[in-house]
Structure 1
Amino acid sequence: MFGNDSDLVDSLLGRLSSTFKIRDLGKPTFFLGIETLSEGGSFLLSQRRYMADVLSRAGMTDCKPLATPAAITQPATPTLDPFDNPTQYRRIVGALQYLTITRPDLSFSVNRLCQFMHSPTQDHWGLLKRVLRYVKGTLDYGLRLSPSSSSAIHAFSYSDWAGCTIDRKSTSGYAVFLGSNLISWLSRKQRSVARSSTEAEYKGLADVAAEVTWVVSLLRELGLHTGQPATLWCDNLGATYLAANPVFHARTKHVEIDFHFVRDKVSSGEFVVNFVSTKDQLADIFTKPLPAPRFHTLRDKLNVDIIHPCA
């Protein structure tokens, strides 16, 4: 239970304890594998014990760390040899899915691994080992939550058009911020093939619009919504214009109807869709492998921070 009025929190706990059998465990420390570390007025959510356990289960406790979880190059001749222990592959990938609760920088790589659960190959096992080697080098990293002077909602949406070389489907990603804190993120392959980059980006906008709608509904229920429209940032001018006015209607009839609810949100004043340059697009980290300098820059902007020694 959190609040900025300690007397009110104590009063509420007292009233709850008079009706229910409860026990106040004090400040949050360790819950469901997630450590809550207090550092200078902010919280850092860490799963370092869980990460160490995953590495132990994979037999990679002493592996050599890497700077990124995914390589930007692909093998010229991928092998189709099946991995001899698919159960182990599924078990470790499932464990990594839980790790993305506090590690958004792993979302794209883990999502890609999940796409081959049914029949992993030796190449897929190699991709998994690379992710584990990155985890090994970032055991002390976690998600930082800090006091913010703003409570405005803004989100970044990006899609890598036809990025999958197997089925040419696009990968969408988004990052939703409440003030300066990252509160929601996603990396997911789109369900259908997009015939243009604008369509791929517009599908991504639809996904983040649905998520922001839910966040706004939750904040209103808690009485914490400011009433200001949420800002969605997209680096595709076509999708940005289409969200405000269907000026390219003749060329976008193939876009499914349910994606057009973004325009309804914009016209009602709930959302504002703005253009952002690709170099400032934070959701880029959720759609494809990136070079180490770019990856580290975006990771820092997502508030994935290192635990200081004093913690």
Structure 2
Amino acid sequence: MLTGLLSGTRPGYLRRALIRLWARLDVHSAFLNGRLAETVYMRQPPGYEDKSVPDHLYFLVYVDDILVMGSDSHRVTGLVDRLAQEFKIRDMGPPSFFLGIETVPLSDGILLSQRRYVQDILKRAGMVDYQPVSTPVSVARSEDSDAAPFADPTHYRGLAGALQYLTVTRPDLSFAVNRLCQRMQAPTTANWSMMKHVLRYVKGTLGMGLCVRKSLSTSLHAFSDSDWAGSPDDRKSTSGFAVYLGSNMISWSCRKQRTVARSSTEAEYKTLVDVAAEVTWLVSLLREIGFSSASAPSLWCDNLSATYLCANPVFHA
């Protein structure tokens, strides 16, 4: 899923194909027209369905920025034209830079990259000229509990928040950023050293991003793992999972568990509970937009005891 193929020219045939298969729109003065006096329905209410168009397109809107995508170029063009009749919008063509995410067409898909956003983070941190490292966290994973408080906690929090948004296209940073964000209230000099290590790793992987390709499979499957008692302060474990639709990663998470697990089996089982809830929600979401998989979702876990516990929860209560 992670790739360094960021440079290169865009194929002409692919660029032309994307012109009306998806478009980026910007609504003028969206904040000045945000107050609505009428009721807005997310779906057609019973008794008011338009029989000529029973299934309207879905929109994902972030304030005044809109992405329109579809497999039929005529329908996409018609929808953009109808929106232009109702609102003052600007058609910006195929999206190349959207909400800090760069969309780079490839021969077999697209690459979602935040290269420019990373460069801005490095400038804010004053680490443009630092030497890169090969891993996001130190192998030793040691934290000095007696370290002095960091002199500028606001600066630390700003960079930690910026790295959080970077995980939108960089799942490889999820664990490291999760550890940094746990220290936002009172960061120490040791935490700042960990922050610089992550930023040096980011500097060396500027070309990485999330690659989305056409997949022959439509199966939903997820992988889960846990770091049992990984926190030296409260002995809580960290859960992590990645969910794939075919060959494309569509959801991932890395967060500390709410309670203390008394064994690695219990920690792994809690992670499976989290990923099962996520997969259940994704199945519901995909069904709403008219997509259904031919097979049941698969959950993968590397802990045999947790697998047995899932198979027979009553016996192991």
- TM, length-normalised to structure 1: 0.77
Determine which of 176, 194, 199 is the counterpart of 1:109. 176
1:102-136 Cα distance to aligned partner (Å, 9 max, x none): 11110000000000111111100000000000011
* Alignment match, 2:234: 167
Decide whether aligned partners of structure 1 residues 141 and 79 sit closer, same or farther in structure 2, where only a CA change above 3 A counts.
Answer: same
> Following superposition of structure 1 onto structure 2, how do residues 1-311 of structure 1 map, counting pairs within 5 Å?
1-75=68-142, 78-246=145-313, 248-249=315-316, 252=317
C-alpha contact 1:159 1:170 (8 A) present in aligned 2:
yes
TM-aligned CA deviation for residue 79 of structure 1: 3.3
Structure 1: 5+ residue runs without aligned partners? 253-311
Alignment identity in percent?
62
Give 1 or 2 for the bigger CA radius of gyration.
2
The alpha carbon displacement at 1:75 in A equals: 4.2
**Closer, same or farther: CA 74–179 of 1 in aligned 2, 3 Å:** closer
CA distances 1:185-209 after superposition (whole Å, capped 9, x unpaired): 0000101001121111111011111
Q: Does the CA contact (< 8 Å) of 2:69 and 2:76 recur in 1?
A: yes
* Distance in 2 between residues matched to 1:241 and 1:190, nearest whole Å: 21
Matched residue count: 250
Question: What TM-score, normalized to structure 2?
Answer: 0.75
Identify the residue that residue 300 of structure 1 maps to in structure 2.
none
Q: Evaluate the alpha carbon distance shift between residue 76 and residue 122 of structure 1 in structure 2; reply closer, same or farther with a 3 A threshold.
A: closer
Corresponding residue SS for 1:60: coil
Deviation at 1:78, TM superposition (A): 4.6
Moved over 4 A (4+): 75-78
Aligned residue identity for 1:46: S
Higher relative contact order (CA 8 A, sep 6+): 1
**Residues 218, 294 of structure 2: 8 Å contact kept:** no
- RMSD over aligned CA atoms reads 1.6
Amino acid at match of 2:249: L
